Amino acid sequence: MAGIPRFLLAQAGSDVVIEAYEGSGAYGDIYGDPVTVRAVVDASRRLVRDDAGTEVVSETTLYAPLSTVAPAGSRVTLPDGTSSTVITAKRRDGGRLPVPSHVEVVLT
């Protein structure tokens, strides 16, 4: 399975920090430890559907390695220091096809 080409991550990629949403507790939301991931950041506005099917506006989309864990509700810190929330994350696994397998992370 082919991932995002290394040259693309090296030239167009940026480091983002993801804190995976783990649930809600007595004192608010619970997040996992921060994990730094190299991803391609596409800062363009588009209309998307969240996991419940509701239409929402996304300001940024990340294209990250297939091993990236970012469930809906996770916190993401972008390279410019902006904090955002994951609307949805979709695995784009091409299997044996010669396409770049990745996780598409849609942010508010």
Contact residues for 85 (Cβ-Cβ < 8 A; gap 6+): 73, 74, 75, 76, 107, 108
Asked whether residue 84 is domain-assigned, the answer is: yes
Distance CA 2, CA 100 (A): 5
The parent domain of residue 86 ranges over: 6-107
Counted domains in the chain: 1
Residue 1 lies in a domain: no
Distance CA 23, CA 74 (A): 10
Query: Is 97 part of a structural domain of the chain?
Result: yes
Residue 20 has what pLDDT?
A: 97
pLDDT of residue 95: 73
What DSSP designation does 27 have? T
Residue that has been written with the tokens 């300001």 in this structure: 59
pLDDT along the chain (108 residues), means of 10: 64 86 94 95 92 93 93 96 95 77 92
Residues 71/19, Cβ–Cβ less than 8 Å: no
Whether 15 is covered by a domain: the verdict is: yes
d(CA 60, CA 69): 17
CATH number assigned to the domain comprising residue 82: 2.40.10
